[in-house]
Amino acid sequence: MLTLLSTLLGFLGSGLPGILNFFTARQNNNYQLELVKLQMQAAAQGTELKIEEENTEAQIKLQETLYSYDNTPTGTWVDALKSSVRPIITYTFFGVWLSVEIITILYALHQGKDIVQLTPILWSDMNQNVFCTIIAFWFGSRAIANAGIFPPMNKPKTAVTKK
């Protein structure tokens, strides 16, 4: 009986390292598989960051291209005309508005109206909206940039830097 027991223990004992090697190999394979998955995930994230960086650089180049037409002065009267278009349009429309308001005041006063009665007509909601739009157009972008709400146009939105 003892011989049979020792033979059985010897047989099982010789197979024990093989069983342990099986579980060790299985654990190593799972580790390697997880490592490969993490490497693939890191590569995918790196690719996404690279694409975002390229898109940001493309947007910057587009902005530079859009504004490059105004960076090369020709030395002629065309330069003065290019820089004066917006102010001339603004002054013209303001002059038209002011003329209409002055004519309205003069006509109403000629009709015997009181200036207090004219105030809601002269400074109506529409006039307030137009003035707010003009002020926001001319000074809004400067205030937004000073407040730091939007990043400047010449800097990328991401913190990715080139190596």
Stated pTM of the model: 0.43
Whether 75 is covered by a domain: the verdict is: no
C-alpha to C-alpha distances, 98 to 47, 84, 102, nearest whole angstrom: 58, 21, 6
Does 91 share its domain with 125? Answer: yes
C-alpha distances out from residue 78 to 59, 64, 73, 82, 111, Å: 29, 21, 9, 6, 48
Give the range of the structural domain holding residue 58, as residue numbers without chain letter: 15-69
- Domain membership flag for residue 158: no
Q: How far is CA 119 from CA 37, 109, 116, 125, in A?
A: 73, 12, 5, 11
List per-residue pLDDT tens for the chain, 163 residues long: 767 677 776 766 666 677 777 788 888 888 888 998 988 988 888 888 899 899 889 988 888 887 776 667 777 887 777 778 878 888 898 899 899 889 988 998 899 888 888 888 888 888 888 888 887 877 776 666 666 665 555 444 444 444 4
Cβ proximity of 156 and 60 under 8 Å: yes
Residue 162 belongs to some domain of the structure? no
Do both 91 and 133 map to the same domain? Answer: yes
Total number of domains constituting the chain: 2
